[in-house]
A and B are shown apart, each in its own frame.
Chain A
Amino acid sequence: MGVFEVEPQKFPDRVSFNHYLAEHYDTLIENDLYVIAGLTEYSREDFLDLLRNDGYEIVGNYGGIQKIRCDYGGERPAEFYLSYDIEDNVVLFYTDMRKTEEVENTIEPFLENKPGVHYLYISPSLLQDIREKIVSEDPATEITEFVAKRTERTDTSSRFRPEEWRTINYYGRDGLESLREMEEHYGVLPRIMEFNVPGFLNFRINHEGVFKLKGGSLKQLFKHIETCIEEALKVKMAYERTDFEMIRASAQLEVPTSEPAAITLKNKIRYHELDGLKDSMQDRDYVLVGSYAEEGSLYFTTEVIDQVKNSTFRIKANEDQIRIFPQDESDLGTFYRFYEFIQDSVDESAELAPA
C-alpha cells in the first residue's frame, strides 16, 4: 500500500493543497501524516530532474502538486505528494508512510546530502519560540517527548558541568517543565519536541524540518510550518545576497571575487577557542584548507570544503562576526548547513547580519 490517495483535481499551490488536506484529513489519512519541508535553489523543472536523477518518478499530476515514487529497495516503494513553491522555492513532501523506513531512506538523505537543496532547518531558538507561543495560547499544552542536546564546545550557559556535552531523550507528561529545567540546569537546547494540546493538536517537530501530525488540527500544524518557513526564508535571503563572480579587470585579466554574508555572534570567539572550533568543523565533515589566525583583535581566515555537499566556501572571522564567501558555484544547502553548524556548535544566538 502506498501513500494516501487524493481525489483527482488540480491544486494551484501548496496553500490550496494544504487547505484541501486540512479539510479532508479525517477521511483521507489513516496513519500519522508526515510533512517534510525543504528549500532549493533549483527551478521547478530542474528540481524535478534532480529527483528523477535520484531514482524518483512522477506518478501523478495534480496541477501544482505531484505525486512521486521512489523504489529504494525496501518492501514497498516510498511515495510522497510534492509541493514546490515557485516564489520562495520551498518544497514540502507529504506522506503517511513510515518515518523510520520510507522517509529516512529517501527524502531525508536527499535533502541532507544533495547540493542545491537542504532541509528546512529549524533553529533551537525558533523551536523554543514555537513552544512558548503554543503554551501561551493554551496553558494546558503538554510536551510528552523531547530530545535536547548540548553540543561539544558550545557557549550556551549551563548551571551544572558546562564543560560536558550531553543528549537528553525524555518521555513523560511533564516534558514541558523538564525541558525548561534542563535548558537552565544542563544547558541543552531542543532538537525534537512532541506537543499535545489536549483536544486540539498532537504533533511532533524536529530541527530538520520534519513535522508529524498524530491527531487534531492539521490547519494549526500548517500554521506552525508556515512560521518555520518564514524564518528559513530569512536565511535564504541572506544567501541570495552572496555571490561569486569573475570580474574583468582588463582585457587580459579576470579576478575571482565574492560577496559575503555575515553571521553575527553574541558569544565572542576567542583566539584560544579556535582549535576547538576547527575540531568541531572537522567533526561535522568540513575540511579546512589554508587556515590562518592571528591573536589580538581575532583574525581567522580559512577555505572550507563541505564534504557533505561537496562544495567550497571561505570564511573570515573576527570575535563578533563570521563572514562567508561563496567560491565558484555557491550552494544554498552549504550555506544552511554552515549556519546550522554555527548555531549548534559555536553560538546558539548567532544571527544573520542585516544587509
Chain B
Amino acid sequence: MTVDELDDEEICKQYAIIIDRVPSYEDRKVEYEDELQSDDEIVETAKKEVKAGIRNGRKHDDLLTSTISAFLPKGTVQQQTGWTFRGAEPLSEYNVPNADAIFCNPDRNLAAIVECKTSLSSPGNALTQIYEAADAIREYRDELSENIGMEIERLETAICVPSYLDEQLAQRIEYEEQNDNAREQVYVWRWHYLEDGERIDLFSSFDNRTRSEATHDSELTQVLNSGVEITKERQATPSFFPSSHTYHIMEEALSELLKKRVRNEEPLREFTETELHDILTSQRHLPHYNSNEIGTRIYDGLMNRLESDNLITAIDQEETELTAGEKFYRYRVRGRSVETVLKNLREKYRTQAIERKIEIKAMRKIIEEFDEDQSSLGDFG
C-alpha cells in the first residue's frame, strides 16, 4: 500500500512508529508543517477538504434520516407491510462493519440492511461495505436478534442513493454480478427530491436481472415500486448517528447544553460531564438500540477532540455554580450568548481541523521520506 492510499488514522499510526524508532523526524515534521502552512494553495485546499467533509457528513445524515422516516414505527409502510425501522448502524457496538440502518418485518422474520451513499466516487467500495455488513449480521445474528427483538431468517441488502446516482450504482452492481463478484443481491433505493417533495422508491431497470431479481422478495417491492412519500408524513428527527461527523455531533450536543443553560438560568459557558453524557446516550438524539454503550463511545471521542483542540478546559467544582456531576468544563471560546458561543466553537473547530489536515500532510511526507531513507540504506546494504 502506498502512502497515498493510507487514511488519516493509519498515517498517524505509521508516523508514531517512525518517531518511536527515530525521534529526530519530529523536528523534520515541524519544518514540513511550517512549509505547508506558508503555502496558500495548500492551506486553501485543506480548508476546502474540511468544509467538504462537514458538508458530506451532513448530507449523508440527512439522507439516512429521510430513509428512516419512510419506515417509521406506526407509519404507513409498517401498517401496509409490517416493515419498520429497528435501528441505526446495527452492530456498531461490536466494531464490525455495519450498514447505516436495519429495517425489519418481525412478523415474517425478515430484515433489510441499507447503506446510504450521497456520492459514488468509488461504487465498488459501497458494495464491499454492504457485503461486509451482511457478513457481520450473519456472524452476529443471535446478538443482533436479541437487540432488535426478533429472529432474522432472511436478510436483504440495499444501497440508497440520490436518484441521479441510480444508474451509476446499478452499472457497478451489474459489473460485479457479471463477473461473479457479487456476494449479495443488492437492491437500489432512490431518494427523490422534487418540487412536490421527498420520496423513496426502488430502481429496477437492471440490464442483467429479471424483473423479480431486481425487486425485493417481500412486501417491500410493492411499496417501494410505487414509492414511499415522505414529505407530508411524520418524520424521524434524530440529532446524530453513531458515525456522524464529530463537528455535527459537537454542534447538536453543545447547542442542546447551551439551550438548557438559558432555560435554567445557569452559567452559559460551563457544563458537566454527566449532562453531556446524558445527551449523547439518549435515544432522543441517537437512534441506536444500545445508545448507552454507543453514546458513551461518542462521548469519549468528542471529549477527546474538544480537549485536544482546546475548545474546552476542565475546571474545579469551586469555579462553577453547577453541581450535578463529578467533572466540570468550560468553553475556551469567547461569547455570552448561545449564538456567539456556538459560532466561536464552530470556527475554532474548523481552524483546528485545517491545522490537523496540514499536520497529516506533513506526517505523510515524513513517512515517504522515511521509506526513501530506508530503501537507500538497503541499496548500500
Contacts from A to B (Cβ < 8 Å): 244, 246-260, 262, 282, 287, 289-290, 292, 294, 296-297, 299, 301, 303, 305, 307, 310, 312, 314, 316, 318-320, 323, 325, 327-328
Among B87, B239, B252, B284, the residue within 8 A (CB) of A246 is B284
For residue B339, which residue of chain A has the nearest CB? A287
In the complex, are the beta carbons of A320 and B195 less than 8 A apart? yes
Give Cα A247 to B233, complex, Å: 14
Contacts from B to A (Cβ < 8 Å): 55, 58-59, 62, 68, 72-74, 84-87, 147-150, 193-195, 197, 231-232, 234-239, 248, 251-252, 255, 259, 262-263, 283-285, 287-290, 337-339, 342
Q: Take A249-B73, A325-B237 as given contacts and tell me if A290 and B252 are in contact as well, using a CB distance cutoff of 8 Å.
A: yes
Give Cα A293 to B373, complex, Å: 48
For residue A292, which residue of chain B has the nearest CB? B58
Give Cα A319 to B150, complex, Å: 42
List A contacts of B251 (CB < 8 A).
Answer: 289-290
Smallest Cβ distance from B31 to chain A, in angstroms? 38
For residue A311, which residue of chain B has the nearest CB? B259
In the complex, are the beta carbons of B283 and A253 less than 8 A apart? yes
Q: Take A255-B68, A290-B252, A318-B197 as given contacts and tell me if A327 and B237 are in contact as well, using a CB distance cutoff of 8 Å.
A: yes
In the complex, are the beta carbons of A250 and B337 less than 8 A apart? no
Give Cα A301 to B198, complex, Å: 13
In the complex, are the beta carbons of B72 and A287 less than 8 A apart? no
Q: Take A301-B62, A307-B337 as given contacts and tell me if A255 and B238 are in contact as well, using a CB distance cutoff of 8 Å.
A: yes
Q: Take A255-B238, A328-B284 as given contacts and tell me if A287 and B62 are in contact as well, using a CB distance cutoff of 8 Å.
A: no
Give Cα A303 to B62, complex, Å: 12
In the complex, are the beta carbons of A253 and B87 less than 8 A apart? yes
List B contacts of A255 (CB < 8 A).
Answer: 68, 72-73, 85, 236, 238, 283, 287
Give Cα A305 to B260, complex, Å: 11
Give Cα A197 to B285, complex, Å: 57
Give Cα A77 to B342, complex, Å: 40
In the complex, are the beta carbons of B289 and A299 less than 8 A apart? no
List B contacts of A257 (CB < 8 A).
Answer: 72, 234-237
In the complex, are the beta carbons of A290 and B58 less than 8 A apart? yes
In the complex, are the beta carbons of B86 and A250 less than 8 A apart? yes
For residue B193, which residue of chain A has the nearest CB? A299
Smallest Cβ distance from A187 to chain B, in angstroms? 27
Give Cα A134 to B351, complex, Å: 60
Q: Is the interface of A mostly helix, strand, loop or mixed?
A: strand
Number of A-B contacts (CB under 8 A): 110
Give Cα A109 to B160, complex, Å: 49
Smallest Cβ distance from B280 to chain A, in angstroms? 14
Among B58, B68, B197, B259, the residue within 8 A (CB) of A312 is B259
For residue A245, which residue of chain B has the nearest CB? B234
Among B86, B263, B342, the residue within 8 A (CB) of A249 is B86
For residue B343, which residue of chain A has the nearest CB? A287
List B contacts of A256 (CB < 8 A).
Answer: 236-238, 283-285, 287
For residue B264, which residue of chain A has the nearest CB? A310
Among A244, A287, A296, the residue within 8 A (CB) of B237 is A244
- 13 A-B pairs with CB atoms under 8 Å apart are A252-B148, A253-B86, A256-B284, A256-B285, A260-B235, A282-B339, A294-B59, A299-B193, A301-B62, A307-B262, A310-B262, A320-B195, A325-B237
Smallest Cβ distance from B301 to chain A, in angstroms? 18
List A contacts of B74 (CB < 8 A).
Answer: 247
List B contacts of A318 (CB < 8 A).
Answer: 193, 195, 197
Give Cα A208 to B12, complex, Å: 59
In the complex, are the beta carbons of A249 and B85 less than 8 A apart? yes
Q: Take A253-B287, A289-B251, A297-B193 as given contacts and tell me if A310 and B259 are in contact as well, using a CB distance cutoff of 8 Å.
A: yes
List B contacts of A299 (CB < 8 A).
Answer: 193
Among B58, B147, B283, the residue within 8 A (CB) of A254 is B283
Among A289, A310, A312, A327, the residue within 8 A (CB) of B342 is A289
List A contacts of B84 (CB < 8 A).
Answer: 249
List A contacts of B255 (CB < 8 A).
Answer: 287, 289, 303, 305
Smallest Cβ distance from B197 to chain A, in angstroms? 7
List B contacts of A297 (CB < 8 A).
Answer: 193-195
List A contacts of B59 (CB < 8 A).
Answer: 292, 294
Give Cα A262 to B84, complex, Å: 25
Among A250, A253, A282, A323, the residue within 8 A (CB) of B231 is A323
Smallest Cβ distance from A294 to chain B, in angstroms? 7
Give Cα A307 to B84, complex, Å: 36
Give Cα A2 to B338, complex, Å: 40
- 9 pairs of A and B residues whose beta carbons are closest in the complex: A250-B149, A252-B289, A253-B289, A292-B58, A249-B73, A289-B255, A259-B234, A258-B237, A287-B339
For residue B164, which residue of chain A has the nearest CB? A296
Among A247, A290, A312, the residue within 8 A (CB) of B73 is A247
List A contacts of B58 (CB < 8 A).
Answer: 290, 292
Give Cα A181 to B193, complex, Å: 42
Smallest Cβ distance from B34 to chain A, in angstroms? 35
Give Cα A78 to B287, complex, Å: 50
Give Cα A252 to B262, complex, Å: 32
In the complex, are the beta carbons of B62 and A246 less than 8 A apart? no
Smallest Cβ distance from B233 to chain A, in angstroms? 8
In the complex, are the beta carbons of B237 and A250 less than 8 A apart? no
Q: Take A287-B339, A289-B342, A310-B259 as given contacts and tell me if A250 and B284 are in contact as well, using a CB distance cutoff of 8 Å.
A: no
Give Cα A310 to B262, complex, Å: 7
Smallest Cβ distance from A300 to chain B, in angstroms? 11
Known: A252-B290, A253-B148. 12 other contacts (CB 8 A): A246-B284, A247-B73, A250-B87, A252-B147, A252-B149, A253-B288, A255-B73, A255-B238, A259-B234, A289-B255, A310-B262, A323-B231
